């Protein structure tokens, strides 16, 4: 009896995907055939080979089903002047994954991995680069990448002190929509509004 009273509580669910699947927020995407992923996000299949070259393996992929986030993103896009969109990668921890899928990207967490191009949320064209920011993991535990649709609009070179994009135009009354590492050939983007990006896919990586 005493032993049962002192026994630790049951462990929390170690699989961050299970509650998201249970709520219908994720839908598994088959990765076998050429037509399994829609053309707009076919990069998931392509990235399997790229990650495999670095010793990483794509285990599973899921589409995010969150109409509320999508509708807010569309509203933000509707008022943006520079309407350029890109599909970009974002590495995250297992602990943060659920919050992003449910509530979207949140700038309250900025600075965990640096602020080289401003105090915003960071995305990359390179999945292998984003994999570096998935946090420490227990042996054998998977890592998680998000493929997001990002409203990058007009971009300027970023600096660490920026809390919003720099101004441009006559009287400096207009602002760029994002900052980048290299204006001519950007590979890293920083956005400063929480609903300027929407998670579209979750990729589980060994």
Q: Whole-angstrom Cα distance, residue 166 to residue 171?
A: 13
| pLDDT value for 70 | 95
Among the listed ranges 94-103, 105-114, 139-148, which one has the minimum average pLDDT value? 105-114
**54: pLDDT strictly greater than 90:** no
What are the pLDDT digits (tens) for 131-148?
Answer: 999 987 777 789 999 999
Comparing CA positions, the residue from 73, 121, 114 lying closest to residue 96 is 121
Q: Mean pLDDT throughout 112-130?
A: 88
**DSSP reduced 3-state for 160:** coil
Per-residue pLDDT, 12: 45
Q: Hey, what are 17's tokens?
A: 């995907």
Instruction: Tell me which H or E stretch contains 41.
Output: none
In terms of Cα–Cα distance, which of 128, 173, 135, 182 is closest to 155?
182
Q: What is the pLDDT of residue 2?
A: 45
Q: What 8-state DSSP symbol labels residue 85? A: E
Pairwise CA distance, residues 73 & 194, whole Å: 9
The tokens describing 195, both together, are 């609903």
On the question of pLDDT at 42 being above 70, the answer is no
Give the bridge partners for 26, in sequence order: 64
Question: Residue 46 phi/psi, 5° resolution?
Answer: -65, -35
Query: Is pLDDT of 4 > 60?
Result: no
Q: Most distant CA pair in the chain: distance in Å?
A: 78
Q: What is the share, in percent, of the chain residues with pLDDT greater than 90?
A: 57
pLDDT of the residue at 9: 38
Residues 6+ apart with CB under 8 A from 161: 118
Task: Calculate the average pLDDT of the chain.
Answer: 84
Strands (DSSP E) contained in the chain are 26-29, 58-64, 85-92, 121-124, 143-151, 155-157, 167-168, 174-175, 178-180, 188-191, 197-205
Q: Strand locations in 33-172, DSSP E?
A: 58-64, 85-92, 121-124, 143-151, 155-157, 167-168
Confidence band of 125 (pLDDT split at 50, 70, 90): very high
Instruction: Give the pLDDT of residue 40.
Output: 45
Identify the band that residue 94 occupies on the pLDDT scale cut at 50, 70 and 90.
very high
What is the rounded CA–CA span in Å between residue 181 and residue 122? 11
């Amino acid at each position: 009896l005493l032993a049962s009273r002192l026994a630790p509580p049951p462990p929390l669910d170690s699989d961050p995907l299970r509650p998201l699947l249970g709520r219908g927020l994720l839908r598994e995407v088959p990765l076998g055939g050429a037509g399994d992923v829609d053309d707009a996000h076919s990069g998931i299949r392509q990235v399997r080979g790229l990650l495999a070259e670095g010793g990483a393996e794509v285990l599973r992929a899921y589409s995010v089903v969150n109409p509320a986030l999508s509708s807010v993103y569309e509203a933000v896009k509707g008022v943006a002047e520079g309407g350029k969109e890109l599909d970009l990668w974002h590495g995250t921890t297992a602990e943060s994954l659920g919050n992003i899928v449910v509530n979207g990207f949140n700038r309250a967490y900025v600075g965990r991995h640096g602020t080289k191009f401003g105090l915003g949320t960071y995305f990359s064209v390179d999945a292998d680069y984003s994999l570096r920011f998935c946090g420490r993991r227990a042996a054998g535990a998977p890592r998680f990448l998000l493929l997001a649709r990002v409203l990058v609009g007009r971009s300027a070179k970023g600096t660490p002190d920026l809390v919003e994009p720099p101004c441009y135009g006559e009287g400096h009354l207009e602002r760029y929509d994002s900052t980048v590492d290299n204006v001519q050939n950007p590979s890293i983007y920083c956005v400063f509004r929480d609903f300027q990006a929407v998670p579209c896919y979750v990729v589980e990586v060994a």
